[in-house]
A and B are shown apart, each in its own frame.
Chain A
Amino acid sequence: MIKLEKEVINVKRLIELIVNGMSYEIAVDTHRTLLEVLRDNLGFTGTKNGCDQGECGSCTVLIDGRAVHSCLTLAMDAQGKNIETIEGLSEGEKLHPIQQSFVDHGAIQCGFCTPGMIMSSKGLLDKNPSPTEDEIKRGISGNLCRCTGYVKIVDAIKAVEGR
């Protein structure tokens, strides 16, 4: 039989996370991922947990402007960094241009992949406002969608207003 856990004392630390421009001071266990803390401690459930192993991209957030997997990031490692989640995009009822384009193009079906897909798109478009189709495909290549077949997602990103 394999030994699954070691006896380590539970270590809680007080950390500061900056999410969508707001600062949150929370006590977290050192073994918590950023995904767990975002969803369970801070209530940002827009960020989804698909595989929890870096395979699907549904947990994608931006850290200092770069798209990363929050399921592979320790919450401790994200201290003091600028974390952006899907909740930070719209202004009240007004959707972000990427969100609006996804809606307009039918790039959302079940919607589970959408937050991650949009955060990857934002990471791409912030750096490269007019990507080619190939660059778009590469930009979202870490995000799996089981519904749309990707065509409408690529169309939506191509058509983002003001890109």
Chain B
Amino acid sequence: MSLPKFDYQAPQTLDEAVLLLSKAKKDAKVIAGGTDLVVAMKQRRITPALVVNIKGIKGLEYIKNGKGELRIGALTPLSSIEESELIREKFPALAKAAGAVGAPQHRNAGTIGGNICLNTRCWYYNQSPFFRKCRPVCYKFGSDKDKCQLFPTREGKANVCYSVFSGDTAPALIALGAKIKIKGPEGEKTIPLTELYTGDGKRPIALAPADIVTEVTVPSPPENSSSAYMKYRVREAIDFPLLGVAVSIALDAGSGTCKNASVVLGAVASRPVEVTEAEKILKGKKITEDLIEQVGEAAFKAAKPLANLLECSPQYRKRLAKVFTKRAIKSALEIIKSA
């Protein structure tokens, strides 16, 4: 399947890239590793007039252990993150999540910036043009008047798109309290990663057309803490997650009670879902089997998967959210214990 035609630019600096993007308005797309965008373009889901390759911009590929935080350049390949000794040791959830993306080829080409800016997916939308040609255009792909083909709303009601956010690293990064740096026409800003996600399947990523993510920062974990990421997919490689669960836990050194806890679910909604109950249940308490069960229950309630991925039922994914949450908590506690 050949690509649609487009104009191509490879700026050498960030300023140049932002300028090119703002001039082209909505009709331009950033390409980093291209492992998501090229498929979307081949399938004619996205057909930009201009493609701006940002890989030529120097100084955006690094993993640095800074003052109280880990800094990762947006162009850093996922395989470098997966292989980094520092990240494996201090941020196991992130190393696991990066290593669980697609196959080695996706991780070699795919960048962390591209992974967090991943488009949402659904079985109706992520198809070849041949498949889609004989069916109505859906709300996400078409105009605001076109209906969602999986979950059509009643006449007169506003459309909603429930496509799934299927990135692996975002839940892990959010559980670890990550922030991102964005460069745009108005300058630079830093936002918590969780604010990058709108929850609206039609426009899932809260970036203006000329915004470029330049860096991901993760606060250094306190003593006596750890994290874990678990992913469910049918094959052990290549497949996108049907469920992802990221957990990060810090214990008090003296009493062994829970100081902080964060549980974030992936692939159950149009954005990563934070299980806010988890911290309420665990904070200040000694983590027991019973409390872990309660957090699992909270994750079950927070997960609201729909029948928009083909490989398994939403009921199964919802129940699995509980099982994986419990396992991920135990795995993080295990790492703290063994340290």
Contacts and interface: CB of A to CB of B under 8 A. Distances in A.
Interface of A: 1-6, 8-11, 13, 29-33, 36, 52-55, 57, 60, 63, 66-69, 71-74, 76-77, 120, 123-124, 138-139, 141-143
Given A11-B5, A32-B3, A4 B44 contact: yes
A142 B104 contact: yes
Contacts, number: 131
Nearest to A141: B237
Contacts of B34: 72-74, 77
A30 B43 CA distance: 17
Given A6-B49, A68-B108, A72-B39, A30 B4 contact: no
B105 interface: yes
B interface secondary structure, majority: loop
B142 A120 contact: no
From A29, A77, A124, residue with most partner B Cβ within 10 Å: A77
Interface in B294-336: none
B1 A52 contact: yes
B236 interface: yes
Given A6-B4, A31-B4, A141-B238, A54 B10 contact: no
Interface string B20-47: 0000000000010111001100111001
B129 A4 contact: yes
Interface string B104-144: 11101100000000000000000001001100010001100
Contacts of B109: 63, 66, 68-69, 72-73
B79 interface: yes
A53 B44 contact: no
6 contacts: A9-B5, A31-B3, A53-B1, A53-B42, A69-B35, A72-B33
B338 interface: no
Interface in B190-223: none
B253 interface: no
B149 interface: no
A68 B105 CA distance: 4
Interface residues of B, number: 41
Contacts of B108: 66-68, 123
A60 B236 CA distance: 19
B152 interface: no
A8 B132 CA distance: 23
Given A4-B44, A68-B105, A31 B31 contact: no
Interface in B214-269: 236-238
Contacts of A36: 2
Contacts of B236: 141
B5 A69 contact: no
From B5, B129, B137, residue with most partner A Cβ within 10 Å: B5
Contacts of B77: 66
A6 B51 CA distance: 13
A86 to B, nearest CB: 15
A54 B106 contact: yes
